[in-house]
Copies of this chain bind each other. A is one copy, B any other.
Amino acid sequence: MKKGVMRPGHVQLRVLDIEEALAHYRDLLGLIEVERDDQGRAYLKGWTEVDKFSVVLRQADEPGMDFMGFKVLNNTVLEKLESDLTAYGCAVEHIAAGELSGCGRRIRFEAPTGHRFELYAEKEQPGKWGVSNVNPEAWPMDLKGMKATRFDHCLLYGPNVEDTYALFRDVLGFDLAEQVVDPEGNRVAAFLTASMKAHDVAFIDCPEPGKFHHASFYLETWESVLRAADLISMTNTSIDIGPTRHGLTHGQTIYFFDPSGNRNEVFCGGDYHYPDHEPVTWKAEDLGKAIFYHDRVLNERFLSVLT
């Protein structure tokens, strides 16, 4: 949080059928359905998230990610970051307060990888779902499915990972927590964090700009990952891989697809990061183990199926 960026605050995903998608994110992942806006977009959040929403689903003709937003400390920070982005040569777009229901004004920019990001300082804050802020119980009783606790991060594919890293580092104050480096010394993956988490957003090098690999949601335990895997099977949901552990970050994970083909991850555990930590390096020639620590080989899908 060197420059006042706190956390990933939301992601807007394109889905082919809003009702099917809602059933997936609400009933299977266990996100809380919050609202439907007049554009027909559906808003959801994990139960531990204090802000109004973190996932927005928009019906569209093809799947993928519209944008990812980061919440910053306050409006002073927002203004400073806007001017810093502009000074850095990055065009910014203003989205008026209320365009996303309950969210303040947003500053949008495009990263060199071709992805759209947003910064904002204000969002309605109804508090955690199902537990009080006074004498809070350990968890709410009425959670569904995987009981995902929060939207955690996105992994994005595109070109110019190096420039994007520089932008996130120099302007937004992110740290490089982990990286994959090829034998020629090129950084082919960058895992970036503004906090103690091993990644708030990650990029993998790929010729095509603006591609979406997955949105990830946090679970509490390895047993929750097993339950998630069971639910994927019980609901005949398309699985990618897991349960397994990552080499990168060492999180325990499972990947699967929403009905539109967008990849989801639910995971638990994983390493922590502080700004004075050296980045962890994985060698590109050991990418199999870096991604899937147990199998030590990649499945083809993981690198090629993107939305």
Contacts and interface: CB of A to CB of B under 8 A. Distances in A.
A80 interface: no
Contacts of A135: 247, 281-283, 286, 289-290
Given A195-B196, A276-B125, A294 B229 contact: yes
A186 B178 CA distance: 44
B233 A283 contact: no
Nearest to A281: B134
Contacts of A276: 6, 50, 71, 73, 125
Nearest to A247: B135
Given A135-B289, A276-B125, A282-B134, A296 B222 contact: no
Contact of A226 (B230, B232, B245): B245
A184 interface: no
How extensive is the interface on chain A, given as a class?
35 or more
Contacts of A229: 244-245, 293-294
A189 to B, nearest CB: 13
B226 A223 contact: no
A234 B1 contact: no
B233 A226 contact: no
Contacts of A220: 269
A89 interface: no
Identical chains in the assembly:
4
22 contacts: A7-B274, A50-B278, A125-B276, A125-B278, A133-B280, A134-B280, A134-B283, A135-B282, A135-B289, A136-B250, A137-B233, A138-B233, A138-B293, A221-B221, A221-B222, A222-B223, A229-B245, A229-B293, A229-B294, A230-B245, A243-B243, A243-B244
Contact of A250 (B138, B231, B278): B138
B275 A6 contact: yes
A107 to B, nearest CB: 17
Contacts of A234: 137-138, 141
A272 B220 CA distance: 12
Contact of A293 (B127, B134, B233, B242): B233
B294 A233 contact: yes
Nearest to A145: B141
- Most chain B CB inside 10 Å of its own CB: which residue of A71, A197, A276: A276
Contacts of A293: 138, 229-230, 233
A263 to B, nearest CB: 16
A139 interface: yes
